[in-house]
Structure 1
Amino acid sequence: MEVTIKCSYMVKPNEPTYMGVFGLSEWDQTGMITHVPTVYFYKPSQEWCTSSTRSIIDTLKESLSRVLVHFYPLAGRVRWIRQRRLELMCDTMGVELIEAESSNELSDFGDFSSQTNLFENLIPFVNYGKPIDELPLVLGQLTKFRCGGVCLGVNISHILADGQSALHFMAEWARLARGEPLQMAPYFNPDAFRSRQLPTKSLTPCDMHTELGTPPLLTGQENNLDERKKVTTVAILPLSKDQVESLKKVANEGVNGPNTYNPYTRYEVVAAHVWRSACKAREHHLEQPTCLGFSVDVRNRLHPPLPPKYFGNAILDAVASSRSGDIITHPLGCTCATIREAIEKVDDQYIWSNINFLKNLSDLTPFQDLHARKSGDGPFYGNPNIGVISWLTLPIYGLDFGWGKEIYMGPGTHESDGDCLILPGLVNDGSVKVAICLQLAHMDAFKKYFYEH
């Protein structure tokens, strides 16, 4: 898709804000410290376009400058300090907002799910070849299509925000653009995850390093460099409410009665099904070790829980491990149980063990995806592993900047083997969409097994 950049603006808070160093937690500095792309497509009504006294780009710029007064850390820059740590400078350098246009039309995207390859030029580019202190933490791109439709592509640094926090920012930005007041200011507390003395025995450094360390390799391989280089492709695969319910019924068969256990959740069941389908499609040996990586929101798992609208990273990466043979040959409920066991392990003590472990490291590089992207080292959830992240509980739909709600919202481009997102269906009826990136050689087989249940 050909896109022409018309103009680029650096938008800053329109009122004075705090200037100085803003502390970052270990979770802000580990895992994904790159940007997370999302896209929103809109079809503004002709009435809005002709009656509005301000253009869409002017509306976005003005409301962005006002919302940044409340979300001021997003207008800053991060920099490297000792021990490969990062700190945030609140210096109001600003958020980049790009105005672009394309000769394409919204109809060129069909139902969007099969045209994710067209998204790349609709999302603002982040040049990770530059020093990190030159990179905006938020970038937005408004692209106008020939038909009158628009796309807002957004890249938000995971250093500053997890999914809950990023969507809080987007919702308040849209609210101000509509002419409404701010609903709830973000809660900043850089000290929320300072080390805490655990009252009982915690996980040992060895145990924790195993939890956070390098996922399994394909049997017979010494590294994953060859797997990283293989061509990948992306698919967005829908599951209707009936299909999800069918999977849940199969997964819960044979478990000890409905009154003595909690049925497996939609996430547990779909993630288990994805894991099994991937193992089959990749044609693993039965003894092949494999893991499923996922993230757990800890806001309500801490004691006491974090305050509402805590802004930052409050998610902990965890893993479920098994053998491909067990996943393929055992009932689906067994894989669900493996995933649930890994989820339930994330309690208050486990969370603080994780934080303390990271704080005591002399170098965070092995746990930062930016370095893995450049060097090929570090955790890789491609073959034989998979990373299945849930957006099922996130308020991802209904973002209205004043010209109506989006007609499509989804993840931006991602090209790493094993990346998978589970999103709720548009009408929130229990259906889901599975956005997955796999090696091209495995995708057709994956689709076959995915829809065989």
Structure 2
Amino acid sequence: MGSSSVHVKEAAIVTPCEPTPACVLTLSSIDSQLFLRFTIEYLLVYRAGPGLDHGVTASRLKAALAKALVPYYPLAGRVRAKRDGSSLEVVCRAQGALFIEAISDRHTIIDFETAPKYVNQQRKLLSLHVADVLKGAPPLVVQLTWLKDGAAALGVGINHCLCDGIGSAEFLNSLAELASGKRGLAELKPMPVWERQLLDPLLVRPPCDNSMTHHEFNRVPDLCGFLDRFSNERLAPTSITFNERSLNELKNLAITSSSRPTESSYTSFEVLSAHVWRSWAKALNLPSNQILKILFSVNFRDRVKPSLPSGYYGNAFVLGCAQTSVKDLVEKGLGYATALVKNAKDRVDTEYVRSVAESVTESMACPDSVGVLIVSQWSRLGLDKVDFGMGRPNHVGPICCDRYCLILPVVDQRDTVKVMVAVPNSAFDKYIYFVRSPYS
């Protein structure tokens, strides 16, 4: 997407349409983690149709945003560090979110059917990229871009300190229901719950079990210039679709290649992330003794006691982490890798979450980057149902495809997912081959 292909027509600050509390809210220790200080960027693309009238759609979206910012008033605030540097807080003075309307003279809906040619090709579909929300930028940016064929692209940036994937998707669905008139403000489901102090008891003594290992925070030696390769070599975006049949095939392969064939069931996420991890490792051609990790978010809303209330939109996840050597990952088969992912997921309980909260509070622990593949599952967030009165989106994905691996929904195909990840150019062909050939 060339620099001239998207032209901003209007940029406006939208404030809540009713009075909201003027206050300073403290973010939890989980929200305040160093590695969450970035923006989650969604891209939803809608087909041209009778529900898409330029003037009407833009004003309806703006009005819905002003309404949504009443119950979600912290998203209209500004994030800052506390004076003592311990955590973050949100200054709520109804400062507002940014709404942008733009026009693209080059792009059509067909452009989103395949992976972009380069990582930042769609950057302009969210013209304001907030790199550091602590410098006073709005934590919420919404951009409606009209495409050349009458379709519409909706880019949304939500700062990760304020919400996780589940929370941000709930906000988007509420915004869509207000825009389409399906619900009024009083009928939103679930009603948003701020209550970040619910995570405070996790930090109350008695101290948690210090013997608990957190591989995600431990450093491993870089034996192969891993970080240099990812920063110096051009990254090539990939997008591969897995339907129900191919996912079942992976599950069967994981069970038959397992050292413990008694394991009778793996989830689609467990086998797919393990398969992508192995394909990625093989394609990168790394030294056999390099330690690799896979990191993925584990929602703990129902894994802690007491569980968090419905509508809690803060960060309620910790990172599951599996690690092994390149040699074992490549040679021991899909069953081995899938069991590692499953075990990492199964470890997460109240005690585990408490020890993560302590690690990030006391030592500002942050995940390592060496040998790491981060996988994020967007396919279960309900993003494919976000209907602003324009129908369901035809495409759901990120604004930019990077080395984060995303598992995305495929619209109207319930048990099909799309895996997007950018790999170094030199590994592109091999990665595509391995990911498409699970028996190789």
Same fold? TM cut 0.5: yes
Match of 1:242 in 2: 245
TM-score normalised by structure 1 residue count: 0.88
User: How many angstroms apart in 1 are the aligned matches of 2:405 and 2:244?
Assistant: 19
Query: 2:394: which partner in 1?
Result: 407
Query: Following TM superposition, by how much is the alpha carbon of 1:218 offset from its aligned partner in structure 2, in angstroms?
Result: 3.1
Q: Provide closer, same or farther for how the CA distance between residues 83 and 49 of structure 1 changes in structure 2, counting only shifts above 3 A.
A: closer
1:74–1:95 contact (8 Å) kept in structure 2? yes
Partner of 1:385: 372
Aligned residue for 1:397, secondary structure, equals: helix
Q: How far apart, CA to CA, are the structure 2 residues paired with 1:196 and 1:37?
A: 29
TM-score norm. by structure 2 comes to: 0.90
1:452 pairs with 421, 437, 440, which one? 437
Partner-residue secondary structure (3-state), 2:265: coil
- Structure-2 change in CA distance of 1:27 and 1:326 (3 Å): same
SS of the residue corresponding to residue 175 of structure 1 reads: helix
Shift of 1:261: 4.1
* Amino acid paired to 1:398: K
Q: Distance in 2 between matches of 1:198 and 1:127?
A: 34
1:13-412 aligned at under 5 Å gives the runs 13-30=16-33, 31-45=35-49, 47-49=50-52, 55-81=56-82, 82-83=84-85, 85-107=87-109, 109=111, 111-114=113-116, 118-128=121-131, 132-179=134-181, 180-181=183-184, 182-184=187-189, 185-196=191-202, 202-204=208-210, 210-219=214-223, 224-225=227-228, 227-253=230-256, 261-361=263-363, 364=364, 367=366, 379-380=368-369, 384-412=371-399
The one-letter code of the counterpart of 1:313 is N
Q: 1:145 to 1:250 in 2, by over 3 A?
A: same
- Over the aligned positions, Cα root-mean-square deviation in angstroms equals 2.5
Amino acid at match of 2:266: Y
Gaps of 5+ in 1: 368-377
Question: For each residue in 1:187-211, what CA deviation from the matched residue of structure 2 results, as whole angstroms up to 9, or x when unmatched?
Answer: 110211114477887332x855x53
SS in 2 for 1:264: coil
State whether residues 40 and 406 of structure 1, in contact with CA within 8 Å, keep that contact through their aligned partners in structure 2.
yes
Whether 2:406 is the aligned partner of 1:421: answer yes
Native 8 Å contact 1:217 1:224 kept in 2: no
In the alignment, structure 2 segments of 5+ residues that lack a partner are none
Alignment coverage as a number of residue pairs? 428
The one-character-per-residue Cα deviations of 1:165-218 (angstroms, maximum 9, x if unpaired) are 0011100111011112242210110211114477887332x855x534255343
Residue type of the alignment partner of 2:384: Y
Give, in angstroms, the shift of residue 112 of structure 1: 4.2
Letter in 2 for 1:224: L
Offset at 1:49? 4.7
Q: Report % sequence identity.
A: 26
Which letter maps to 1:434?
Answer: V
Alpha-carbon offset, residue 150 of structure 1: 1.2
Query: How far apart, in 2, do the equivalents of 1:257 and 1:78 lie?
Result: 48
Distance 1:307 1:434 in 2: 31
Counterpart amino acid of residue 155 in structure 2: G
